[in-house]
């Protein structure tokens, strides 16, 4: 057999933010290679499939990309429907092109099924429009994170120029991001919102400004976080009590540390 490989977006986390196309493919899949962040209820849709976790999460052991590529090719020679399930949209920060290149080189047919990316789930969480007449008419997706042999990308310039910047995998480098953007002339009062676990029941947000962004370095984030920056974020509603508590705890942690 030569099967077909579907690079499928699982969405931002909530299982009901999956596309119908993705759900149907999962139901018909023979084998599913999935990321660590994919919700168990989403995986449960693939009830007849063998499930293989190949996820990469910051700081944890990751399956080498070349090995994932090879497993996809091998699987397509054994199975009819192979699903490669990735968080959010497969074509954003998911190393999809490496998998696509490997499949093409091996002559394996493939299709990409888009998904709801984290930045869009975060905007939904906040109840703000990413574009807004007179305020915002472009959005840049960027990450400060670089892999081996990656081409230089002036992501700072892109974010500095954007009406809205969405920064993935950036929370650990919040201080460096703030410095870089301030050095580009962005003003310290620029609204920034960090959204953790967008679309999931444990979603949290930190509403801050570019000048105060460094404080995020002291937060303990358990889930994935996306940063949204831009004037349009000024419309994000006031933080919930839970978020205020989180900030209070940070302030207390600072005081404690200072006292020790
Ligand atoms: N392809 C994915 C992104 C993969 S990179 C997508 O389109 O969303 C992983 C990064 O995505 C995380 O470090 C975080 O920045 C972001 N992310 C993924 N899921 C998220 C969620 N539910 N809430 C907030 N950020 C999320």
> Could you please report the per-residue DSSP string of 165-202?
EEEES-GGGHHHHHHHHHHTT--TT-EEEEEESTTSTT
In the structure encoding, which two tokens stand for residue 140, read together?
């840049």
Closest of 193, 199, 200 to residue 243, by C-alpha: 193
Least confident of 73-77, 82-86, 141-145, 247-251: 247-251
What letter would DSSP give residue 47?
T
Ligand 1 pocket test: which of 93, 121, 195 has the largest number of ligand atoms within 8 Å of its C-beta?
Answer: 93
Q: Measured between alpha carbons, how far is 30 from 51 in angstroms, rounded to an integer?
A: 9
Q: How far is the CA of 245 from the centre of ligand 1 (A)?
A: 24
pLDDT at 164 over 90: yes
Length of the chain: 260
Residue whose token pair is 């493939």: 110
**What is the tally of helices (H) and strands (E) in the chain?**
8, 10
User: What is the predicted pLDDT for the residue at 245?
Assistant: 37
| Residues that are catalytic | 35, 56
Which stretches of 51-154 are DSSP H helices?
65-76, 96-105, 118-126
Q: Which residues contact 66 (CB under 8 A, 6 or more apart)?
A: none
Q: What is the pLDDT of residue 150?
A: 63
Say what the pLDDT of residue 238 is: 60
Where does the pLDDT of residue 219 fall: very low under 50, low under 70, confident under 90, or very high at 90 and above?
A: confident
- Pocket (CB within 6 angstroms of ligand 1): 12-13, 86-89, 92-94, 117-118, 121-122, 168-169, 195-200, 224-226
- What number does the ligand 1 atom closest to the CA of 116 have? 7
Name the residue of 115, 145, 168 whose CB sits within 8 Å of the most ligand 1 atoms, as the mutation to test its pocket.
168
Locate tokens 């915002």: which residue?
Answer: 136
Q: 166: CA distance to ligand 1 center in Å? A: 10
Residue 58 has pLDDT above 60, yes or no: no
pLDDT at residue 49, as a whole number = 98
pLDDT of residue 242: 42
Per mean pLDDT, which range of 138-142, 151-155, 156-160 is the poorest? 151-155
Percentage of the residues of the chain whose pLDDT score is greater than 70: 85
């Amino acid at each position: 057999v030569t099967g077909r490989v579907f690079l499928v977006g699982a969405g931002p986390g909530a299982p009901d933010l999956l596309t119908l196309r993705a759900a149907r493919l999962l139901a018909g899949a023979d084998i599913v290679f999935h990321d660590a962040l994919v919700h168990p209820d989403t995986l449960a849709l693939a009830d007849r499939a063998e499930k293989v976790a190949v996820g990469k999460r910051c700081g944890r052991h990751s399956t080498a990309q070349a090995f994932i590529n090879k497993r996809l090719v091998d699987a397509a020679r054994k199975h009819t429907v192979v699903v490669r399930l990735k968080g959010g949209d497969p074509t954003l920060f998911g190393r999809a092109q490496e998998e696509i290149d490997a499949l093409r080189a091996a002559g394996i047919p493939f299709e990409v099924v888009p998904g709801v990316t984290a930045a869009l789930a975060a905007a939904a969480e906040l109840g703000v429009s990413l574009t807004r007449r007179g305020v915002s008419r472009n959005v840049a997706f960027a990450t400060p994170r670089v892999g081996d042999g990656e081409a230089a990308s002036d992501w700072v310039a892109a974010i500095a120029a954007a009406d809205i910047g969405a920064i993935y995998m950036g929370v650990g480098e919040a201080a460096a991001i703030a410095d870089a953007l301030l050095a580009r002339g962005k003003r310290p009062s620029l609204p920034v919102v960090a959204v953790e676990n967008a679309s999931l029941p444990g979603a949290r947000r930190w509403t801050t400004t570019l000048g105060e962004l460094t404080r995020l370095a002291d937060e303990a984030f358990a889930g994935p976080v996306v940063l949204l920056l831009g004037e349009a974020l000024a419309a994000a509603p006031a933080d919930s009590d839970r978020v205020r508590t989180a900030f209070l705890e940070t302030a207390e942690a600072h005081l404690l540390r200072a006292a020790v």
